[in-house]
């Protein structure tokens, strides 16, 4: 029996997602139907997509044409290694998120659950279609569907004014980005007026036009990914959205922008110019550092994670920049190393960031607080969530032997192999990039200790936290799925690296080779040069810990007493004496002071009711957004003069316009 | 990998673990001499450990399992580091498990473990210490990475034994880039090990302390492990410094038992000199205010990056 072709299978599964979404409308208010039936089914579909895509990675590209679309431009689909990899990413992460969502939805929160189910599955289907499309038209349709579906999901609780304005900002930046993409495809077709990606691959562009197309693509995809200075929507939209939606947007949707960048720069435009690589590298490094610094001073747990996503996107784009740079200079093996690191970080981020966003969802449900200053000590009340969040935290901090470290290790190796490159200036640039990368990664650990420590450790800062309860079993399953992915990707990187070599082969024409990763170690070039063995690493620590534990047991008498914490002989300690989120971020605020716009209100000695207030904000609002908004308002006021409300006048405008146009024709 | 190499590696790690308190005792003894005191003797850290092992552990009511697990994780991480770093011999069987980048990750793991433990009880001092420790960490970690990058670019490898072996095999010439890296590394060593310009290892209950603030809630066996870990961390950092900047005298894989004795003697001598040097630095300098620590560490980071750029510029 011939096996079904993976492209067909995946397409069918995507249609299944849409059907599940539609089924939500049958009983829109029935939580059991939507939560216990549809969402678990959606998770199964997601897992099936991931499995199909995993097998498709090894197969040659498959194409198909659907008999729908514009006249002369039906929908083209193509499943190659790159899209298969991103389908694996979408499938694995969304399976965990769907499983979690099954237990997450509560009655009376925002829109009807059935409606959410529809929007959620349309969102997933749009993302999966996006990576399958092979022509500009259907790409843009999928892209806009994705943006709109996520907009509706963000504004689920549309009665809250902040959420409405966050949604508006998101939609605005998404639209501007989409506009840039449309222009980019306009340039890419290069006068052939053929809008399939195949035709675009064949079109010849002069270097200048190629750079224009690249810049437009970087702008368009950067707006979705959250590159500086288009990042402002992330910290607004992520806290506004329900937690599973934040998880999907941050973990998965941002990666579709990375996919788009790769598709255009390395596939459609074939050979990049080295200047592009430098630009992306610089932009990525700045974005990463900026995100990490801002994450360190946040007091809202979801805003903190949103800034941390900006940081990770920065790291991913530095990897992309390195790939472009090496590819342009003809160092294909190095480019393969950098690309493998980049894509590995994409899939890692999808797992651990989704995990952490879901954990904040559980905390939010259990306590009703998003502000770190009102949490604390939850490890006692919510041990399961605390355990999985610890896993995600350690993975995201880039600590071995979890998955975040593998990709960082690969990228740092790519930086280290550089000095064989011809132009001298790049040899000086790359170490600076490596320095920024190392600083960002180290700062991430700071951010995550703050995140975990303030939420889960210490003592509860509010009396109400005593009633917090752990997540339900479906939610735990979702968390466990993502947690296991973090461990598996960390301890067994070889299968994923071999799969990534297919993508390398597709995009760069060469890869790391089969010897680069064995089941127990990663060896990108030779064993004398660099090696990392997660299993031996983990085994070493585990063995040492076990040996020490047994030895201490043998020596020590085992008496343990419980007592009050030592209070330095002073007054009794209260939970309010613990470090707050503001306090924990204080060193960063001090060191990177000029980066922030700080408004501080300090009490005077004579105040009857002394009050200290501190507000930190993003300077990009001052530099870019506020001036643009003011300019738009000013122009609108001028143009508003035309609008008089009199029909006769409007008819006159039409008449004059017609006359002017006629003058052109004649 | 030969069984002989594995044994050598385990022997080396055990040697480090056993000798770490001795090194700390020696540094303290030297410091006492430099301050015109008699000192407690080089074996004092062992006495402290023995005393702690006999006491009853007192744990705060609201301590979580993480609090009790943390000392074991820290100690385990440092043991693995000791097995990776070439101390007496360039043969390190576990070297393939972790190169210098993973080594930095290992130190970060230990740091995060103690910082989280510091926040677990929910006292003012614990979280203050955790915050400061992470601040020092995020500045010193990239500097350490840059130092390693310089060395690995010179030797074309990120594996510490290979780096040490390559440098030991060359004539003892001064690499300008390594000189910059050496200064940066010394500064990082002082900061990471809670030594004087950044932290004062000899005081308790001072508002400026970092490491001790996090460990305040520990007692008995846990405290013993925390103390031993910090001694072992100092030992590991010293060994890294010796491997990078004065690698001569490390025995090769094939040297046999005689070579091993030479290697141990050479390392002991170098460690004694380095320990005395550390005591001298600590005696001669004053502790910085905590707000000046970022400047100190930023200087270290800049030196390290400068070393890397000098290497790229001069090719040496």
Task: Write out pLDDT tens, residues A438-457.
Answer: 999 999 999 999 999 999 98
Higher pLDDT, A646 or A513: A646
**Chain B contact for A387, CB < 8 A?**
no
Give the whole-number percent of chain A exceeding pLDDT 70. 98
For range A485-502, the mean pLDDT: 90
Closest Cβ opposite residue A532 in set B99, B120, B216: B99
Instruction: State the pLDDT confidence band at B1, using cuts at 50, 70 and 90.
Output: low
DSSP A37: I
Distance CA B249, CA B304 (A): 26
What is the value of pTM for the model shown?
0.93
The closest CB to that of A544, out of B80, B115, B294, belongs to B80
Given this model, what pLDDT does residue A109 score? 67
CA A376 to chain centre: 26
The pLDDT score that the predictor gives to residue A472 is 81
Alpha carbon of A245 to those of A105, A153, A234, A659, B54: distances in Å? Answer: 11, 7, 13, 52, 53
Chain A residue numbers with beta carbons less than 8 Å from the beta carbon of B162 are 528-529
pLDDT of residue A553: 87
- For the cut 50, the answer to whether the pLDDT of residue B76 exceeds it is yes
- Which whole number is the average pLDDT over A132-159? 91
pLDDT of residue A352: 93
Q: Cα distance from A563 to chain B (closest Cα, Å)?
A: 5
> Average pLDDT for residues A260-280, to the nearest whole number?
88
CA distance B24 to chain A (A): 20
Mutate to test the interface with B, among A383, A400, A536, A569 (most CBs of B within 10 A): A400
Of B130, B225, B294, the CB nearest to A449: B130
Contact indicator for A113, A24 with CB cutoff of 8 Å: yes
The whole-chain average pLDDT of chain A stands at: 88
Beta-sheet pairing, A596-601 with A613-618 = antiparallel
Residue B2 has pLDDT above 70, yes or no: no
Residue of B9, B78, B98 best to disrupt the A interface, most CBs of A under 10 A: B98
Contact A591 B294 (CB under 8 A): yes
What's the average model confidence in pLDDT over A26-33?
A: 83
- CA-to-CA dists, residue A285 to A288, A291, B38, angstroms: 5, 10, 53
Q: Taking CB atoms and an 8 Å cutoff, what residues of chain B touch A454? A: 119
Please determine, for residue B34, whether its predicted confidence score (pLDDT) is greater than 60. Answer: yes
Out of B72, B115, B157, closest to residue A528 by CB: B157
pLDDT (0 to 100) of residue B159: 87
Could you tell me the pLDDT band of residue A420, with boundaries at 50, 70 and 90?
A: low
Q: What's the pLDDT band for A257 if we cut at 50, 70, 90?
A: very high
Determine contact, residues B70/B115, Cβ cutoff 8 Å.
no
Query: A576 to chain B nearest CA, in Å?
Result: 9
Asked if B296 and B199 touch (Cβ cutoff 8 Å), the reply is no
Percent of chain A surpassing pLDDT 90: 42
Chain segment B169-209, per-residue pLDDT in tens:
777 777 888 899 999 999 999 999 888 888 887 776 656 67
* B142 → closest Cβ in A435, A542, A579: A435
pLDDT for B216 equals 84
* Amino acid A603: pLDDT: 85
Which chain A residues contact residue B79 at CB under 8 A? Answer: 540-541, 544, 548
Evaluate if residue B90 carries a pLDDT over 80: no
How confident is residue A107, by pLDDT bands cut at 50, 70 and 90? low
**Chain center to CA of A117:** 22
How far apart CA A77 and CA A91 sit, in angstroms, is 18
How does pLDDT run across B241-284, given as a tens digit for each residue? 998 888 877 776 566 777 788 888 888 999 999 999 999 999 99
Predicted confidence band of residue A1 (pLDDT cuts 50, 70, 90) = very low
Report which of residues A431 and B187 the model is more confident about: B187
Q: Pick the residue with more confidence: B256 or A248?
A: A248
Which residues, other chains included, contact A283 with Cβ-Cβ below 8 Å and sequence gap of 6+? A218, A222, A227, A228, A317, A321
Mean pLDDT computed over A279-295:
92
Q: Is A590 on the interface with B (CB under 8 A)?
A: yes
Mean pLDDT of A396-423: 83
Cβ–Cβ under 8 Å, residues A302 and A154: no
The whole-number average pLDDT for the span A289-299 is: 91
Of the listed ranges A227-236, A415-424, A458-467, B8-17, the one predicted with least confidence: A415-424
């Amino acid at each position: 029996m011939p096996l079904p072709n993976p492209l067909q299978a995946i397409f069918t599964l995507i249609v299944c997602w849409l059907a599940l979404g539609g089924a939500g409308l049958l009983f829109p208010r029935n939580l059991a139907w939507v939560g216990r039936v549809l969402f678990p089914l959606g998770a199964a579909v997601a897992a099936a997509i991931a499995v199909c895509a995993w097998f498709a990675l090894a197969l040659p590209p498959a194409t198909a044409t659907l008999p729908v679309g514009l006249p002369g431009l039906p929908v083209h689909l193509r499943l190659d290694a790159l899209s298969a990899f991103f389908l694996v990413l979408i499938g694995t992460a969304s399976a965990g998120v769907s499983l979690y969502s099954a237990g997450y939805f509560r009655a009376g929160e925002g829109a009807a659950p059935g409606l959410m189910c529809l929007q959620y599955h349309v969102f997933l289907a749009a993302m999966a279609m996006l990576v399958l499309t092979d022509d500009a038209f259907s790409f843009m349709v999928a892209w806009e569907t994705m943006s709109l579906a996520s907009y509706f999901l963000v504004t689920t609780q549309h009665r809250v004014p902040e959420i409405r304005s966050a949604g508006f900002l998101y939609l605005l930046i998404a639209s501007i980005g989409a506009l840039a993409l449309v222009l980019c495809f306009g340039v890419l077709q290069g006068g052939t007026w053929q809008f399939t990606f195949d035709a675009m691959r064949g079109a010849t562009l002069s270097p200048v036009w190629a750079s224009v197309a690249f810049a437009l693509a970087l702008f368009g995809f950067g707006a979705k990914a959250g590159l500086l200075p288009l990042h402002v929507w992330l910290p607004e939209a992520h806290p506004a959205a329900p937690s599973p939606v934040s998880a999907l947007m941050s973990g998965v949707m941002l990666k579709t922008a990375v996919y788009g960048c790769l598709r255009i720069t390395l596939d459609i435009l074939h050979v990049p110019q080295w200047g592009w690589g430098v630009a992306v590298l610089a932009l990525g490094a700045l974005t990463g550092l900026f995100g990490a610094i801002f994450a360190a001073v946040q007091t809202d747990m979801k805003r903190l994670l949103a800034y941390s996503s900006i940081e990770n996107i920065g790291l991913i784009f530095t990897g992309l920049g390195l790939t472009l740079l090496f590819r342009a200079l003809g160092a294909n093996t190095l480019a393969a190393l950098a690309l493998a690191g980049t894509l590995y970080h994409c899939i890692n981020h999808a797992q651990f960031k989704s995990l952490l966003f879901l954990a904040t969802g559980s905390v939010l449900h259990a306590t009703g607080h998003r502000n770190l200053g009102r949490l604390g000590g939850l490890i006692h009340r919510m041990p399961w969530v605390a355990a999985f969040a610890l896993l995600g935290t350690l993975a995201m901090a880039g600590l071995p032997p979890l998955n975040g470290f593998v990709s960082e290790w690969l990228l740092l190796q790519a930086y280290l192999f550089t000095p064989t490159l011809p132009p001298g200036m790049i040899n000086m640039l790359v170490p600076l990039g490596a320095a920024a990368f190392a600083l960002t990664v180290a700062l991430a650990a700071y951010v995550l200790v703050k995140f975990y420590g303030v939420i889960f450790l210490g003592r509860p800062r509010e009396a109400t936290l005593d009633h917090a309860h752990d997540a339900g079993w479906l939610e735990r399953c979702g968390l466990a799925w993502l947690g296991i992915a973090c461990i598996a990707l960390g301890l067994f990187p070889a299968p994923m690296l071999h799969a990534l070599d297919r993508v390398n082969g597709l995009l760069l024409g060469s890869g790391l080779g089969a010897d680069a990763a064995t089941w127990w170690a990663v060896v990108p070039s030779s064993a004398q040069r660099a090696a990392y063995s997660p299993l031996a690493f983990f085994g070493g620590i585990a063995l040492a810990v076990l040996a020490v534990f047994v030895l201490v047991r043998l020596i020590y008498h085992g008496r343990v007493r419980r007592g009050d914490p030592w209070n330095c002989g002073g007054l009794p300690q209260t939970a309010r004496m613990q470090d707050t989120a503001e306090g924990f971020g204080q060193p960063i605020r001090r060191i990177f002071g000029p980066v922030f716009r700080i408004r501080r209100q300090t009490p005077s000695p004579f105040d009857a009711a002394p009050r200290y207030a501190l507000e930190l904000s993003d300077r990009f609002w001052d530099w870019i957004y506020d001036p643009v908004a003011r300019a738009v308002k000013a122009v609108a006021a001028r143009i508003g003069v035309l609008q008089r409300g009199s029909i006769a006048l409007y008819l006159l405008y039409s008449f004059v316009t017609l006359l002017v146009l006629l003058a052109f024709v004649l | 990998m030969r069984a002989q190499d594995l044994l050598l590696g385990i022997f080396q790690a055990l040697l480090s673990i056993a000798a770490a308190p001795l090194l700390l005792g020696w540094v303290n003894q030297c410091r006492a001499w430099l301050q015109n005191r008699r000192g407690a003797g080089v074996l004092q850290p062992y006495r402290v450990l023995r005393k702690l092992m006999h006491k009853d552990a007192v744990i705060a009511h609201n301590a979580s399992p993480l609090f009790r697990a943390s000392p074991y994780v820290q100690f385990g991480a440092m043991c693995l580091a000791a097995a990776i770093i070439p101390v007496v011999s360039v043969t390190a069987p576990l070297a393939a498990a972790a190169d210098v980048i993973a080594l930095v990750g290992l130190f970060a793991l230990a740091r995060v473990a103690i910082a989280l433990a510091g926040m677990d009880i929910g006292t003012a001092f614990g979280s203050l210490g955790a915050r400061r420790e992470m601040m020092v960490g995020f500045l010193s970690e990239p500097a350490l990475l840059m130092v390693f990058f310089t060395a690995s670019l010179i030797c074309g490898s990120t594996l510490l034994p290979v780096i040490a072996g390559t440098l030991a095999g060359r004539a003892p010439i001064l690499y300008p880039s390594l000189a910059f890296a050496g200064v940066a590394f010394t500064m990082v060593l002082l900061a990471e090990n809670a030594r004087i310009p950044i932290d004062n290892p000899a005081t308790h209950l001072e508002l400026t302390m970092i490491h001790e603030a996090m460990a305040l809630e520990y007692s008995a066996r846990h405290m013993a492990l925390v103390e031993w870990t910090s001694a072992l961390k100092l030992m590991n950092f010293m060994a890294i410094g010796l491997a990078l900047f004065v690698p001569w005298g490390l025995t090769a894989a094939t040297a046999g038992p005689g070579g091993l004795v030479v290697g141990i003697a050479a390392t002991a001598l170098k460690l004694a000199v380095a320990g005395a040097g550390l005591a001298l630095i600590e005696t001669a300098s004053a502790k910085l205010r905590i707000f000046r620590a970022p400047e100190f560490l930023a200087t270290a980071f800049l030196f390290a990056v400068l070393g890397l750029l000098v290497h790229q510029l001069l090719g040496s």
